[in-house]
């Protein structure tokens, strides 16, 4: 194993050391360079042909190529080309010696690798021309043609059932940005991981959800840059994402695993008029290694949810090992009626070590850089929370991290104790840092447990047409807390 000789002009977007950014396997180990004759001299070399595959955990792309005899090494530059007119350099002009390397891999990214075989003065070999090699981490899309505006997504799945049933690996349905679609019934995705995305992240497609609509999965789903209008989700069993009540695989002692890089993810979505559930396990025993809601705007009608007896994220029997809410806005357009309220998220199941033969000793709840407004605020003002962690209450197996958030008129005036610690004085292993709590026009929770780097100013929120809130107070803006969209 060798590490590349030089790394210059690099623009790094990962917090790795240089040695782990670019790891190389030499093809000439065990050969004495003084006695080895490559058999190639007095020529211009050719650039290698690159093969790219994902590493087992999906965090890296493994690049490999056949040895180029008589070469003096290879020079490589890697660029993010999601916008081909504005490539972003990940590293440039790195000189390596070998025939395999690993480079960082991000989801939903198009890459361009520029590679040149270096000359070798000893054998009078000249460097090759620069060759380009492109690869992608986008999940392959199943629809060859764009779906016309107005298409019923559920009917499209019915009409393409034979094509869909042939899929053995994760696949994506890609919607045209700016178009509006409908979904008037459920889509059962079976046991193949699925991605739904718009082709333009800056102008997402919108799906108008019908009364009983839902995407049903048992192996994981990622919904990225798709907006939802949920005013038509009138049935009490409707949800954007449901976990399947039929099971084909991945059973560990009665628990169905969504793991090995698969997840339940909502990212870059604007969800309006949610009167039903966002995610629902249908009282099924799933273990979800990663559940992520990131860069979303979620508008709730909590009176309508209460009338149906539902919570936004309702896990009656399933268990997420890691749940993260990040860079998102969550708001309710209605008060909860007196002495009654619904939760934004509810676990009412097991503890991590009690599921899937005890393979998960701990779990984690992360709440990073969010703005929450008017969520589970009772007309009675009673002590309550917007979350119910079920049997995690007071348990040392649960790690809770709440950082850089804004809470306005949420829960009660004791957000930390009621929403995250469930009224307990200890037990959960927690960190609360740099949060703002504002309730009924005043700083909230001064007797609460969270005293570290509190931001005790009215954030002066103003809701935008898109649904997120602009922060008006310069002290809060300078602190850099809340949903980043409101700080721009």
Is it the case that residue 422 has pLDDT exceeding 60? yes
Q: What is the model's pLDDT at position 109?
A: 93
Statement to judge: residues 171 and 260 lie in one domain: yes
What integer is the mean pLDDT of 295-300? 98
Does a structural domain hold residue 144?
no
How many domains would you assign to the chain?
2
Does a structural domain hold residue 145?
no
Please give the DSSP secondary-structure letter assigned to residue 58.
S
Q: Give the angle subtended at the CA of 388 by the CAs of 265 and 281, to the nearest 5°.
A: 45
Q: What is the pTM of this model?
A: 0.86
Q: What is the model's pLDDT at position 12?
A: 28
Please give the DSSP secondary-structure letter assigned to residue 354.
G
3-class SS at 448? coil
What is d(CA 244, CA 229) in angstroms, rounded to the nearest whole number? 23
Statement to judge: residues 415 and 457 lie in one domain: yes
Instruction: List the single range of 61-65, 124-128, 338-342, 360-364 with lowest mean pLDDT.
Output: 338-342
Statement to judge: residues 40 and 157 lie in one domain: no
Domain holding 391: CATH number? 2.160.20
The residue range of the domain holding 128 is: 2-136
Is it the case that residue 220 has pLDDT exceeding 80? yes
Does a structural domain hold residue 141?
no
Q: What is the model's pLDDT at position 472?
A: 98
Statement to judge: residues 157 and 129 lie in one domain: no
Structure tokens at 255: 């628990």
Between 246 and 230, whose confidence is greater? 230
User: pLDDT tens digit string along 241-281?
Assistant: 999 998 877 789 899 999 988 999 999 999 999 999 999 99
Does a structural domain hold residue 143?
no
Q: What is the model's pLDDT at position 3?
A: 32
Question: How does residue 9 score in pLDDT terms, banded at 50, 70 and 90?
Answer: very low
Statement to judge: residues 163 and 202 lie in one domain: yes
In a 10 Å sphere around its CB, with 0-12 CB exposed, 13-18 middle and 19+ buried, how is residue 137 labelled? middle
Between β-strands 286-294 and 319-326, what pairing exists: parallel, antiparallel or unpaired?
A: parallel
Computed over every residue of the chain, the mean pLDDT equals: 88
Statement to judge: residues 85 and 199 lie in one domain: no
* Residues in contact with 258: Cβ distance below 8 Å, sequence separation at least 6, in sequence order: 217, 218, 219, 220, 250, 264, 286, 287, 288, 289
Statement to judge: residues 354 and 427 lie in one domain: yes
Give, for 455, the enclosing helix (H) or strand (E). none
What integer is the mean pLDDT of 2-24? 34
Statement to judge: residues 172 and 28 lie in one domain: no
Is it the case that residue 48 has pLDDT exceeding 60? yes
Domain-terminating residue out of 78, 107, 136? 136
Q: What is the model's pLDDT at position 11?
A: 29
How far CA 124 is from CA of 36, 45, 121, in Å, comes to 15, 10, 5
Whether the CB-CB separation of 210 and 233 falls below 8 Å is answered with yes
Does a structural domain hold residue 148?
no
What is d(CA 443, CA 43) in angstroms, rounded to the nearest whole number? 75
Statement to judge: residues 271 and 323 lie in one domain: yes
The DSSP bridge partners found for residue 152 are: 182
Q: What is the model's pLDDT at position 458?
A: 97
Q: What is the model's pLDDT at position 229?
A: 98
Statement to judge: residues 93 and 118 lie in one domain: yes
Does a structural domain hold residue 175?
yes
Nearest to 312 by CA among 277, 282, 361: 277
Structure tokens at 80: 């993010």
Does a structural domain hold residue 407?
yes
In a 10 Å sphere around its CB, with 0-12 CB exposed, 13-18 middle and 19+ buried, how is residue 358 labelled? exposed
User: pLDDT tens digit string along 366-415?
Assistant: 999 999 999 998 766 566 789 999 999 999 999 999 999 999 999 877 88
Residue 162 burial (CB count, 10 A): 7
Statement to judge: residues 62 and 162 lie in one domain: no
Domain-terminating residue out of 109, 136, 163? 136
Does a structural domain hold residue 146?
no
What integer is the mean pLDDT of 180-197? 96
Q: What is the model's pLDDT at position 26?
A: 41
User: pLDDT tens digit string along 78-99?
Assistant: 999 999 999 999 999 999 888 9
Q: What is the model's pLDDT at position 337?
A: 66
Q: What is the model's pLDDT at position 263?
A: 95
What integer is the mean pLDDT of 28-33? 40
Domain-terminating residue out of 75, 101, 136? 136
Statement to judge: residues 165 and 124 lie in one domain: no
Domain holding 66: CATH number? 2.60.40.10
26 φψ region: left (φ > 0), alpha (ψ -120 to 50), beta (else): beta
- Percent of the chain exceeding pLDDT 70 equals 88
């Amino acid at each position: 194993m060798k590490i590349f000789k030089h790394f210059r002009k690099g623009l790094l977007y990962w917090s790795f050391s240089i040695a782990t950014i670019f790891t190389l396997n030499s093809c000439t180990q065990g050969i004495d360079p003084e006695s080895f004759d490559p058999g190639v001299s007095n020529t211009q070399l050719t650039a290698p042909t690159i093969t790219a595959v994902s590493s087992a955990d999906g965090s890296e792309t493994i690049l490999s190529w056949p040895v180029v005899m008589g070469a003096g090494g290879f020079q490589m530059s890697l660029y993010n080309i999601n916008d081909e007119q504005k490539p972003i350099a990940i590293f440039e002009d790195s000189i390596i010696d070998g025939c395999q390397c690993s480079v960082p891999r991000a989801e939903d990214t198009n890459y361009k690798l520029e590679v040149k075989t270096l000359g070798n003065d000893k054998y009078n070999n000249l460097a090759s021309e620069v060759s380009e090699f492109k690869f992608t981490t986008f999940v392959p899309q199943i629809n060859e043609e764009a779906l016309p505006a107005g298409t019923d997504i559920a009917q499209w799945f019915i009409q393409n059932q034979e094509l869909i049933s042939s899929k053995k690996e994760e696949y994506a349905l890609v919607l045209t940005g700016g178009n509006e679609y409908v979904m008037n019934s459920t889509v059962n995705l079976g046991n193949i991981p699925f991605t739904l995305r718009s082709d333009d992240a800056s102008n997402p497609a919108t799906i108008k959800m019908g009364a009983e609509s839902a995407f049903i999965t048992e192996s994981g789903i990622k919904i990225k840059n798709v907006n939802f209008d949920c005013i038509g989700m009138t049935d009490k069993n409707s949800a954007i994402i449901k976990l399947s009540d039929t099971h084909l695989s991945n059973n560990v002692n009665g628990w169905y695993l969504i793991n090995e890089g698969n997840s339940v993810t909502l990212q870059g979505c604007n969800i309006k008029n949610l009167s039903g559930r966002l995610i629902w396990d249908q009282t099924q025993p799933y273990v979800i290694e990663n559940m992520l809601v990131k860069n979303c705007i979620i508008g709730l009608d909590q009176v309508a949810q209460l009338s149906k007896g539902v919570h936004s994220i309702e896990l009656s029997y399933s268990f997420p090992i890691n749940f993260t809410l990040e860079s998102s806005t969550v708001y309710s357009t209605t008060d909860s009626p007196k002495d009654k309220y619904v939760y934004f998220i509810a676990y009412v199941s097991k503890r991590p070590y009690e599921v899937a033969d005890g393979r998960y000793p701990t779990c984690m709840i992360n709440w990073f850089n969010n703005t929450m407004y008017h969520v589970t605020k009772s007309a009675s003002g009673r002590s309550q929370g917007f979350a119910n962690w079920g049997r995690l209450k007071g348990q040392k197996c649960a790690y809770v991290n709440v950082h850089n958030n804004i809470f306005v008129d949420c829960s009660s005036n004791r957000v930390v104790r009621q929403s995250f610690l469930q009224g307990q004085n200890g037990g959960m292993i927690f960190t609360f840092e740099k949060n703002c709590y504002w309730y009924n026009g005043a700083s909230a929770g001064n007797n609460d447990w969270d005293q570290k780097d509190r931001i005790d100013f009215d954030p002066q929120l103003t809701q935008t047409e898109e649904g997120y809130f602009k922060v008006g107070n310069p002290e809060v803006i300078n602190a850099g807390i809340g949903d980043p969209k409101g700080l721009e």
